[in-house]
Structure 1
Amino acid sequence: MIARSWARSQQYGLSPGDRVLFDSPVVVRPKDIADHGGLLLRAASPEMEQLHGALAPKDWVLACIDMEGVVLNSIGKCNSASQELNQVFRPGALFLETQVGTTGPSCALEERETVIVAGSDHYLEEAHAFTCMATPIFGLDGGIVGVLDASRKGPVTSLYCLESLVIAARAIERRMFMELGNVLLVHLHFRLDILGTPMEGLLAFDQAGKLQGANRIGQQIFSTPGLKPGMDFSELFDMPFAHAACYRRYDLSVPFRMQTQWGSQLYACLTAAPDKKPGQAPVPARQFVTAERRPISPQGPCLEDPVVQSALERARKAFARDIPVLINGETGTGKEVFARLLHEGSARASGPFVAINCSSIPASLIESELFGHVEGAFTGSRKGGAVGKIEQAHQGTLFLDEIGDMPLELQGRLLRVLQERSLSRLGSTAVIKVDCALICATHRDLAQLSQEQGFREDLYYRINGLRVVLPALRERADLALLINRILQNETAAHAPLALEDSALQALLSYSWPGNIRQLHQTLRLAAALAEDEGWIGLRHLPDDVVPATAKASASETQPIPVSAPQFLAGDTLLASEQRAIRAAIEACQGNLSAAARSLGIGRATLYRKLKAMEKE
């Protein structure tokens, strides 16, 4: 590379004795640097600050130079060792081979490779006192967008700085991807511990599942068959894009295994790229439409299903106008969660949210629970009386769950309270004014029930201001995302667990008669059974979800071909154990969970042994 750069420098008409290094022309005014640098400058500046703070000694000068050779940013201490380099890498200066000959950054721009140019490797004699390390920065389309350079006066005795420089360049590329809006980012690597680091592969897909860009590592992972813009997600992965989009998260806490179309197994996480901040320039490589989106807390409700989103939007508008909302849905579909979201997003959020399940309270007690009572109102009444649920909800929200099971004799009194906005406690004639919003829920068809004289028709029309129907779990489009959300919550206090593909497919295929409530219990059990293995498989799921016969069949059709370890003469027990571990991992194609099972040990134990092997 150095020889080719010298040849080009001679062709440009430069002479080794020229004095031009410190007088490179300034082609961009400092006040225009921010506009000129755009995405690259925004992504590089924080990584350069972090890298410079970590370098020792502190006489390094860092510079980010774009593909046109313009210095966008430089960081260096104001001391005698760095003074000359600060002059060389002043923002806005032009730093191309045509101007300064062979240097680290100018050569890296041309060769698109990491390079060290030290001492007399520089073409110009005035640069012989310096050492430059430079590495290219690749953009969203895989092409070079600039270089990151570290220079100092004098020789370099360690390659630690070069390694740090390369990692910083990968981190800059990662930041550029994270600035994309309205895309699905696929984080992937062959090693689990690389996910979430600057060395992970990154692929960006638009809403139609078309490839928009890949970082350098992503391109290396997919060197066969090669990546081209516009490729469909299904051309690369053995999974439909609609299925993959359900994994979308806003963090990297729940990885899973993905299989490519040619059989390779990768660790992956799928995230939605954060929206760009207001006022930021659009990404120059491509045009992306940025949709307004509010990130959902990983611990919060999962609302990615379009039916649920539409129902919530309509219900919030009605609830804001004090119109009662009636929620229909099967048992366990999250009706109370939906009601709480309405309350928390309304003007009554600072008031109480009072919930009562009309089917779980004996008919003899529900009246006093709703309306309260005074002391001595009935046998067994509380001393001093009690405040009813409706009164407790004053200036807040009253949620009546399973209202279809409310006794008929109470429905008339409830109707009067709702119409008059006042009540009297049992055993009292005193009138108490109440102001509360009303949300009701039931799994029953109240319209049909009222026709059968099982529910008061006038009460039905009073509570049915807006009726929304929550889909059953088996009908939700965000089922895979919901599974991962619940799994994350269940394992928050322990090591994170991921789902094997077979287990996830079983969960997606199951009918879930108990809906979200049943899913919670299923994942809680699976997480407990798989705690020491790191991965949830078919064997960890209950038999009502995956019958025992199916588990046995899956085990028989997916044998793990691990040969017995060979004990060689002179081997220690430790050496034999390490050979067995390596053989198991190789036979399982890097799947540590499968390797641990084949060895008869837990996944956590296998990790500890691997770490011990690395230290040796």
Structure 2
Amino acid sequence: MSDLSCNRPAQRFALAASDPGVIEKSHQRSSAYGLARQDKPDIGPLGAAALSLLLEQNHALYTHALPVMETLYEQIINTHNMVLLTDASGVIVHALGDDDFLVKAERVALNPGVAWSEQSKGTNAIGTALAERAPTTVHADAHYLQANHFLTCSAAPIFDHQGKILGVLDVSGDRDSYHKHTMALVRMSAQMIENQLFTAAFENAVTLHFHSRPEFVGTLMEGIACFTPGGRFLSANRSALFQLGLPLTALQSHTFSSLFGLPVSTLFDHYRTAAPGLLDLCLHSGVRVSAKAELRLSNSVFQHFSEVRPAADAAAPAPSKSPPRLSSLRYLNTGDPQMAALIGKLDKVRGRDIPVLITGETGTGKELLAQAIHNDSPRRHGAFVAVNCASIPETLIESELFGYEEGAFTGARKKGGQGKILQANGGTLFLDEIGDMPLALQARLLRVLQERMVTPLGSTKSIPVNLALICATNRNLRELIAASLFREDLYYRLNGLVVKLPALRERSDLEAIVNKLLLEEPGGEPCCTVAPDIMALFHRHGWPGNFRQLSNLLRTAVVMAGADRVIRLEHLPDDFLEDVQALPPAALNAAGSGSLEDLAQTAVRQAFEASGGNVSATAKALGVSRNTVYRKLNLR
């Protein structure tokens, strides 16, 4: 069975040189191949013609990997390391490295055209990653051949959408330059290449990007699943398999509707709206996810930040009558006086071309507010383009924002790339975590805002832009200015209207918020209700994670409640209960008769008795750990 069929893909990341069993098995294989530790490695590369053919055969892999390799190399430059890309048999396709290490590397032929399989070089990160089908670190003496003992290497295989290995991404360097974070960088980079290859593999398809946490949509953590225009499942990346909880073979019999509880026609309707936001979908397991889609149909690409207004089709399904969730300022006004005042201020500057700066703690809903501002503005028929300045690598953020011309840098796409600023032309640009933007780019952004012109990298031509700007941060920009980490002139350009979103614990409309989050769909019936004693606990909790914490807690509780459809104490996660137990006794008076501990013990004991005294079954039924059951029942 292919590795992609595993519904616990994180297990593939467990292998490393610290696992002696992995290294010992590899040494045994190396010996069986007839290699001796004192052997001089075969360093004969392919000829020029064969190397050219190798590049041609691996064109897609090389094209998508090259810019990622460039970025990875920028992060490890001047550390006596090099970045390598191999094909599926371990032959090096491309290499980038520090000059001071290249001399050493040439001694063992870490060069394009040289094979680094276990059969050729014995135990090494590239060959062993291929053999184990898993990310692998091989450090110093763990290499089978003595000639390679001066190396430390971290490698991760790159899989296609069918679970077939396409190649390996590797960082190799001097053993004295070993750093424990190198493997994490390699794994993330390999995942980035995989996701790009996955998306490019399906031309005439519906590609869904999703995650249970909306801020992870568009990042390496997102799940990606592809479907035919009719909704038949095609494939999914590793994150999607993990979230869906099904192997690839089982998913082949599914459709978009069976997995996400929504006809694919409704998805098309959503993208016929002028400025579609993130979709709120429910997995077959009951877990809610946020999603965006690319509809690559008839050579047209529509994305969540693209304006999509196809001509009306009499045969097309009727548009959905339900408006997108949290789609306007009115919808966000749920009875809290602070929010009402904030929305009143925003109403007054609507359509006045005044930049808005949203502040507040993490998880208070800054992007939701920005989307609502856009949807209520005269620019609502234009694009809403969100950029998280903290999540894009510093080496990529400039090209992401401003775009680039063909040949602007090594690995640049043919015909160049359109930056986020130009994508937002005619609409709204939302710069989240603006306080984390590098200083050098702050100067360029200020110039764009002043001149209303953007110049892509590698171009001498400036392009006029007309957009609304919304920024957000959970940092104190004035403190950053005092520390010379943020430009004062840019700050005064951004803060036309500053609004601060209150923390969830400071709001008076918690019950209304909970009820909205529990709606199956806007205007529908709640999928669950909250027991009065639990709502009392909610009112007394500090909610350090704000809406993000509340939303995730409710999603889990809904699944645990199941057919009961009432969220009770036994449906709440351990960490929440532990936090609430730490509250002063006076704060728990309204939590029902008796103390919270008594309630918890009663719930656990009832489940324990119902399971016939089975601790494992009790823990599973309540969604808690076995240790919690032991602790609540004083079992030894």
Q: Which residue of 2 aligns with 1:202?
A: 224
Q: Which residue of 2 aligns with 1:132?
A: 153
Q: Structure 2 CA distance, aligned partners of 1:252 and 1:153?
A: 51
Alpha-carbon distance change, 105 to 221 in structure 1, aligned in 2, over 3 angstroms: same
| Alignment counterpart, residue 285 of structure 2, candidates 262, 270, 294 | 262
What is the deviation of 1:479?
A: 3.2
Alpha-carbon distance change, 68 to 245 in structure 1, aligned in 2, over 3 angstroms: farther
Q: Structure 2 CA distance, aligned partners of 1:251 and 1:14?
A: 64
| Alignment counterpart, residue 239 of structure 1, candidates 257, 262, 265 | 262
Q: Structure 1 CA distance, aligned partners of 2:235 and 2:140?
A: 38
| Alignment counterpart, residue 190 of structure 1, candidates 203, 206, 212 | 212
Once the two structures are superposed, residues 35-74 of structure 1 have per-residue CA deviations (whole angstroms, 9 ceiling, x without a partner) of 1112211111110011101114342111111222222221
Once the two structures are superposed, residues 585-606 of structure 1 have per-residue CA deviations (whole angstroms, 9 ceiling, x without a partner) of 56402699xxxxx9xxxxxxxx
Tell me, yes or no, if structure 1 residue 215 matches structure 2 residue 215: no
Q: Which residue of 2 aligns with 1:64?
A: 85
Whether the 8 Å CA contact 1:209–1:241 is kept in 2: the answer is yes
Q: Which residue of 2 aligns with 1:43?
A: 64
Residue type matched to 1:241 in 2?
Answer: V
Alpha-carbon distance change, 197 to 296 in structure 1, aligned in 2, over 3 angstroms: closer
Find the residue that maps to 1:29 and give its secondary structure. Answer: helix
Q: Structure 2 CA distance, aligned partners of 1:138 and 1:481?
A: 41
Find the residue that maps to 2:261 and give its secondary structure. Answer: coil
| Alignment counterpart, residue 588 of structure 1, candidates 529, 554, 569 | 554
1:292-303 → structure 2 map (5 Å cutoff): 292-293=299-300, 298=305, 300=307, 302-303=309-310
Q: Structure 2 CA distance, aligned partners of 1:485 and 1:255?
A: 9
Once the two structures are superposed, residues 374-403 of structure 1 have per-residue CA deviations (whole angstroms, 9 ceiling, x without a partner) of xxxxxxxxxxxxxxxxxxxxxxxxxxxxxx
Alpha-carbon distance change, 574 to 262 in structure 1, aligned in 2, over 3 angstroms: closer
Residue type matched to 2:147 in 1?
Answer: E
What is the deviation of 1:532?
A: 8.0
| Alignment counterpart, residue 166 of structure 1, candidates 157, 177, 187 | 187
What is the deviation of 1:551?
A: 8.7
1:77-92 → structure 2 map (5 Å cutoff): 77-80=98-101, 83-84=104-105, 88-92=109-113
What is the deviation of 1:202?
A: 0.9
Whether the 8 Å CA contact 1:253–1:496 is kept in 2: the answer is no
Alpha-carbon distance change, 301 to 44 in structure 1, aligned in 2, over 3 angstroms: closer
| Alignment counterpart, residue 530 of structure 2, candidates 537, 546, 560 | 560
1:397-436 → structure 2 map (5 Å cutoff): none
Q: Structure 1 CA distance, aligned partners of 2:222 and 2:546?
A: 29
Whether the 8 Å CA contact 2:90–2:127 is kept in 1: the answer is yes
What is the deviation of 1:566?
A: 7.1
Q: Structure 1 CA distance, aligned partners of 2:275 and 2:152?
A: 38
Q: Structure 2 CA distance, aligned partners of 1:82 and 1:163?
A: 26
Find the residue that maps to 1:15 and give its secondary structure. Answer: coil
Find the residue that maps to 2:176 and give its secondary structure. Answer: coil
> Identity of paired residues, percent?
21
Whether the 8 Å CA contact 2:272–2:309 is kept in 1: the answer is no
1:505-584 → structure 2 map (5 Å cutoff): 554=525, 558-561=528-531, 563=534, 578=544, 584=550
Alpha-carbon distance change, 57 to 102 in structure 1, aligned in 2, over 3 angstroms: same
Whether the 8 Å CA contact 1:205–1:213 is kept in 2: the answer is yes
Whether the 8 Å CA contact 2:126–2:168 is kept in 1: the answer is yes
Q: Which residue of 1 aligns with 2:133?
A: 112
| Alignment counterpart, residue 22 of structure 1, candidates 25, 43, 64 | 43
Q: Which moved more, 1:130-139 or 1:256-265?
A: 256-265
1:285-434 → structure 2 map (5 Å cutoff): 291-293=298-300, 298=305, 300=307, 302-303=309-310, 305-307=312-314
Whether the 8 Å CA contact 1:565–1:580 is kept in 2: the answer is no
Alpha-carbon distance change, 575 to 130 in structure 1, aligned in 2, over 3 angstroms: farther
Alpha-carbon distance change, 261 to 532 in structure 1, aligned in 2, over 3 angstroms: farther
Whether the 8 Å CA contact 2:77–2:98 is kept in 1: the answer is no
Find the residue that maps to 2:43 and give its secondary structure. Answer: helix
Find the residue that maps to 2:141 and give its secondary structure. Answer: helix
Residue type matched to 1:112 in 2?
Answer: R
Q: Which residue of 1 aligns with 2:73?
A: 52
Q: Structure 2 CA distance, aligned partners of 1:574 and 1:152?
A: 54
Q: Structure 2 CA distance, aligned partners of 1:198 and 1:577?
A: 27
RMSD: 4.7
Whether the 8 Å CA contact 1:248–1:271 is kept in 2: the answer is no
Q: Which residue of 1 aligns with 2:246?
A: 224
Tell me, yes or no, if structure 1 residue 12 matches structure 2 residue 22: no
What is the deviation of 1:496?
A: 4.3
What TM-score do you get using the length of structure 1 for normalisation? 0.50
Alpha-carbon distance change, 117 to 248 in structure 1, aligned in 2, over 3 angstroms: farther
Once the two structures are superposed, residues 275-317 of structure 1 have per-residue CA deviations (whole angstroms, 9 ceiling, x without a partner) of xxxxxxxxxxxxxxx833365895646116445xxxxxxxxxx
What is the deviation of 1:267?
A: 1.9
Q: Structure 1 CA distance, aligned partners of 2:530 and 2:39?
A: 67
